Structure 1
Amino acid sequence: MNILLTGGAGFIGRWVAKQLLGDGHLVWILDDLSNGREDNIEEFKDHKGLQAFIIGDIKDEALLDKVFSENKFDICYHLGASINVQDSIDDPRTTFNNDAVGTFYVMEQCRKHRTKVVFMSTCMVYDVCLDDQGITEIHPIKPASPYAGAKIAAENMVLSYYFAYDLPVVVIRPFNTYGPFQKTGGEGGVVAIFIRNNLVGKDLLIYGKGEQTRDLLYVEDCANFVVEAGYSDKVNGQIVNAGLGSDITINELALVIAKDEMRIKHVPHIHPQSEIQKLLCNSTKAKELLGWTPKVSLEEGILRTEKWIQSSHLM
């Protein structure tokens, strides 16, 4: 198939690109490099399946029109977005324009060219999980940050194209994803930041009490879920979750990585009003409709991520 991948130079995007290319498709990557990095896709630059790497903005309607008109895409995996919760609180305009308005421009091209859409949303749209059964797709949502609000707006826009125009679309909500190629600095994920700080002998800093929990999904499992959602017609018009199916407190995660309580410090939370105290995924729908289940345990995923950070000299 001919596939457009927005945000393909990002952390999850590069793993999606890797699987799509490995599956034999022709892939065009569009990324403005605000979050992504060219280094992330260096591995694929000579791959015969990679048709183009376009540095561009999804809000550039002329560019989108040109890219869609020149190439008949079967699927658009739309991962391009602003993804930082704190940035969205500090600058909600940029996040809304990228995540909601930019998605609208992508949807208009997909409607015009009858291109299936896989829209990457987030578990951050959910309200807190209240039990150990996990969050299903009908769990209440709560836009606790402008990031979550923009994603909810974009989700509704995407789904409206299914009902109004019979366009095949699917909204996916992966839970907190980690692994190789995730940034290890302040804008990276908690696992990557903890591992890097542990390797260089720094303290592991936890926002607040550290009792908040996360369902941590290894990036290759996440990418497989993303790709499979595009291949299947069973999820058209649906919202689908993906997670490991078990959660861990941030305190427990820090101890797993540092193995020394003295290295763990608590600091004031930078956005307590947008914190979700318990996130635990119920992926039953993904298993039933896509046959998808995660394969990499948290322990194995942490080991793989640590090896990658060491080998990439990101310490």
Structure 2
Amino acid sequence: MHVMVTGAAGLYGVHLVDLLVSCPEVTKVTGIDNFSRQFLTRNPFLPNPALKTKFLMLRLDYRSLTPEMIDAAGVDAIVHLAAYVSIDESMEDPEKYFQNNERGSFELARTLLATKSKPLLVVASSPEVYGNPLYTPMDEDHPMYPRSFYAVSKLAAEKHCRVLYEWYKYPVVVVRNFNTFGENQNVWGYSAVIPAFIECTLRGETLVVHEDGKQTRDFLYVGDAVKAYLAILLRGKELSGSVFNIGTGKETPIAELAEIIWSLAGGAGGLTGDASGASGAGGASGLTGAKPDIIFKPGRPGDLQALSADISRAKATLGWSPEYDLVRGLQKTIDWYRRVWS
């Protein structure tokens, strides 16, 4: 199986590439990325000897792909990860999100429809498409009320691709990734909450929490997340038309997350600190008992109050469930940031 991955140098991309090249059923992986983001390491990809024999990296915008390129390469499946992912940035520059996330996905859908090979398309979406929950955990049939231009762009991208299935029975699978974190996540500019908290803690800086910190998210370690994608790829076109949530089904308040990261990273100035003994617990009280330096700021108008995934469909259909708890995933992530910054 030849798999093409858009956004191959991003958080999901590098971990998915690593998993794919290690899979016997995968004979070749082609990465597509324009390298528009900054990276903490010179080479963002995880060390793996199989990269030399099974991986081809193409530095280009996924919107420049043509039907002829895809057919000539003999691509069996495309995992579409490429996207801008900041809610705040989307409100400041919605055109950027429209052009890349929505219009780009529309153009990719048209390109694939014109191919002869009709490779499986696996589309990465977001729980932000649901908006504030009417109930938790949220299943795939939860009503959709996006509250940011980012969320709108992801919902539109998802719908553009699903039209291929609805009208032409083109093989499409949608995956709604809940709040994923891990090694290689961006810390610059509009970074997500976990890398932002890790950076502040390791540098001994104050952590910023919006509102009272009681809003919750469902945090999923990226090493678990990419295994769901592999399970979909191995099942192939028989899953056409399916939508899957992937998450943990567990809600963590943001203020509690700040305490956990502060404790795992060794507290203030933890860049050279010792995080020993900080594993296996479910919260800060079971770690070091340290209290982070937090300032609470007003919330943002579009912030969601809760996110939690119902993953029963992924469990039943894919045989997938997460293996990492929050603390174990955070420790791996913090250790990685500590290494690259030291």
TM-score (norm 1): 0.92
Match of 1:22 in 2: 22
The letter of the residue matching 1:106 is: L
Distance 1:310 1:295 in 2: 23
The letter of the residue matching 2:223 is: E
1:280 aligns with 2:282: no
Q: Specify which of 282, 306, 309 is matched with residue 334 of structure 2.
A: 306
Q: Specify which of 84, 96, 109 is matched with residue 98 of structure 2.
A: 96
Distance 2:223 2:151 in 1: 24
Q: Specify which of 267, 277, 296 is matched with residue 297 of structure 2.
A: 267
The letter of the residue matching 1:149 is: V
Distance 1:198 1:246 in 2: 24
Distance 2:160 2:214 in 1: 35
Structure 2 CA distance for partners of 1:223 and 1:36, relative to 1, 3 Å: farther
Match of 1:201 in 2: 204
Unpaired runs of 5+ in structure 2? Answer: 264-289
Deviates more, 1:241-250 or 1:66-75: 66-75
Q: Specify which of 241, 244, 247 is matched with residue 248 of structure 2.
A: 244
Unpaired runs of 5+ in structure 1? Answer: none
Q: 1:118-129 counterparts in 2 under 5 A?
A: 118-129=122-133
Q: Identity of aligned pairs, percent? A: 29
Distance 1:284 1:312 in 2: 37
8 A contact 1:110–1:116 mirrored in 2: no
Distance 2:301 2:88 in 1: 11
Distance 1:84 1:130 in 2: 24
Once the two structures are superposed, residues 132-165 of structure 1 have per-residue CA deviations (whole angstroms, 9 ceiling, x without a partner) of: x400001111121111111111111111111211
Match of 1:47 in 2: 52
Q: 1:2-17 counterparts in 2 under 5 A?
A: 2-17=2-17
1:211 aligns with 2:239: no
| Structure with larger Rg | 2
Distance 2:292 2:167 in 1: 57
8 A contact 1:58–1:64 mirrored in 2: no
Q: Structure 1 residue 183: deviation in Å?
A: 2.0
Q: Structure 1 residue 67: deviation in Å?
A: 2.7
Q: Structure 1 residue 196: deviation in Å?
A: 2.3
Q: 1:103-142 counterparts in 2 under 5 A?
A: 103-113=105-115, 114-131=118-135, 133-142=136-145
Q: Specify which of 188, 198, 223 is matched with residue 220 of structure 1.
A: 223
Distance 1:32 1:202 in 2: 32
Match of 1:71 in 2: 73
Q: Secondary structure at 1:47's aligned position in 2? A: helix
Distance 2:230 2:81 in 1: 12
TM-score (norm 2): 0.85
What RMSD, in angstroms, separates the aligned Cα atoms of the two structures? 1.8
The letter of the residue matching 1:256 is: I
Q: Structure 1 residue 77: deviation in Å?
A: 0.4
Length, aligned pairs only: 308
Q: Secondary structure at 2:16's aligned position in 1? A: helix
